[in-house]
């Protein structure tokens, strides 16, 4: 079992959700986050004054998948979240040792 964590631009969420739904991914946790990578933020103009926005708004998606769904999940996120511009985001894949569904007590892939 793997935990796929993706950081994406907020306006791409609907596309990513639809792409994951199409391949059979059933659960996603979404968190609003702020951060920066190589783009280092940007400057904006407000009422004639220029100011620096250091942290840009992003969405963090966490998706628990089985080994056989991993490649399709990553590919779906890449295709749906790609704009070709800087700041499209990142995908991290980590190993999950155990999953337990609280309501039923199911464990492992049955709990996903």
CATH number at residue 99: 3.30.70.120
Helix axes 70-81, 13-22, angle to 10 degrees: 150
Give, for all 112 residues of the chain, the pLDDT tens digit. 999 999 999 999 999 999 999 999 989 999 999 987 776 666 666 677 776 777 889 999 999 999 999 999 999 999 999 999 888 999 999 999 999 999 999 999 888 8
The SS3 of residue 102 is coil
Count up the domains in the chain and report the number.
1
- The model's pTM: 0.85
Contact criterion met (CB below 8 Å) for 62 and 1: no
Give the range of the structural domain holding residue 47, as residue numbers without chain letter.
Answer: 2-111
Phi/psi-derived region of residue 3, left when phi > 0, alpha when psi is between -120 and 50, beta in every other case? beta
């Amino acid at each position: 079992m793997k935990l796929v964590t993706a950081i994406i631009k907020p306006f791409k969420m609907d596309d990513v959700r639809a792409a994951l739904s199409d391949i059979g991914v059933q659960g996603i946790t979404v968190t609003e986050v702020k951060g920066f990578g190589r783009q280092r933020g940007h400057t904006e103009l407000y009422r004639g004054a220029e100011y620096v926005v250091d942290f840009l708004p992003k969405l963090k998606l966490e998706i628990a998948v089985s080994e056989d769904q991993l490649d399709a999940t990553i590919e779906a996120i890449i295709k749906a979240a790609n704009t070709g511009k800087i700041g499209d985001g990142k995908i991290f894949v980590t190993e999950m040792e155990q999953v337990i569904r609280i309501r039923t007590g199911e464990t492992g892939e049955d709990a996903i």
